[in-house]
A = this chain, B = another copy of it.
Amino acid sequence: MGGDFAPFEAIKGAKNFLNSASSDVHIVLIGDEDKIKSIVEQEGIDKTQYTIFHAPETIGMHEHPTKALKEKPKSTINVGFQLLQRKKIHAFISAGNTGAMMVGMHYTIKTIEGIQRPTIFSVLPRMNTSTPGLLMDVGINADCKPENLLQFGILGSLFSKSILQNSHPPKVALLNIGEEEGKGNKLAQAAYPLLKENDKINFIGNIEGRDIFTDKADVIVCDGFTGNIVLKLSESFYDITQKLSIKDDYIDLFNFEDYGGTPVLGASEPVIVGHGISKANAFSNMIESAETIIRSRLLDTIRDNFSK
């Protein structure tokens, strides 16, 4: 029931996924049963491929996360995390209130032991390689400590290796305002040596704003304030090219509507949060991401890397 086009686009995305996938994924649709039922019947989705789980309440996009979760125990977000915690579902996907998703996660499944702050990323299309880059955090950690940036680098590196199948060790860089060590704000100055000294990542140093969309780095770490500004600015450049009727295959890769959300890396079970504007294509891609994460056993790999 989350996002601007709920529940129609979510259900349509599920249908598209089921039609194209060769796998045996079963979709649990959580939300208003009557509304969902009428759409799935109208769309003619095979009844063996989905289950509807009734959740009569919805948390709005602008509601206060903690307050809304307490006042609406039967909201889709509360119900989803309960199902995830009780292992009734293997992954939970939502394009609803991101803040409520994060608080809901902390209330139930929590983070993997050793991870201070879970993180979300943005996928970066790059001109000279078909493998996308990752930028993280992009908004759930507005203020960060140096150790958080190090953990983002490790998480991003593991995701890049397991899911994007970068064969070489992924190149991890620190987003900064100069290339030399010692440049930047206090956070970047303090994070640099931590990244440099950690043997779990292939740290290549600082990277500047101009190199975000190149193949210089595969994983770029920054605080969530900076990352969110970069993400939304990049989205706006795509919008500008569309208003100007510019057609180009590479520019089309900037259509963030296609990406379909980001896993919450560090959560103890697969959780994917989507943009409020997500349409069917984005939902279908989010389901595909969830399946890939489950089958790759990414979370076990993360657990191994963060256990002492």
Contact = CB atoms under 8 A, between A and B. Distances in A.
Interface of A: 62, 127, 139, 142-143, 175, 177, 180, 184-186, 188, 208-214, 222-226, 228-237, 239-241, 243-244, 246, 248, 250-251
A212 B230 contact: no
B224 A177 contact: yes
A86 B240 CA distance: 48
Nearest to A224: B177
Contacts of A213: 236, 240
A292 to B, nearest CB: 28
Nearest to A239: B210
A184 B223 CA distance: 11
B142 A243 contact: no
Nearest to A251: B244
B250 A235 contact: no
B186 A212 contact: no
B143 A225 contact: no
A227 to B, nearest CB: 9
A239 B214 CA distance: 11
Given A185-B223, A225-B184, A229-B226, A236 B250 contact: no
A125 to B, nearest CB: 10
Q: Which of A232, A237, A240 has the most CB of B within 10 A?
A: A237
Given A142-B185, A177-B142, A244-B251, A210 B225 contact: no
A142 B208 CA distance: 14
Nearest to A138: B177
A210 B232 contact: yes
Nearest to A142: B185
Contacts of A239: 210
Contacts of A210: 232-233, 235-236, 239
Contacts of A186: 142-143
A127 B209 contact: no
Contacts of A234: 209, 233, 237
B139 A185 contact: no
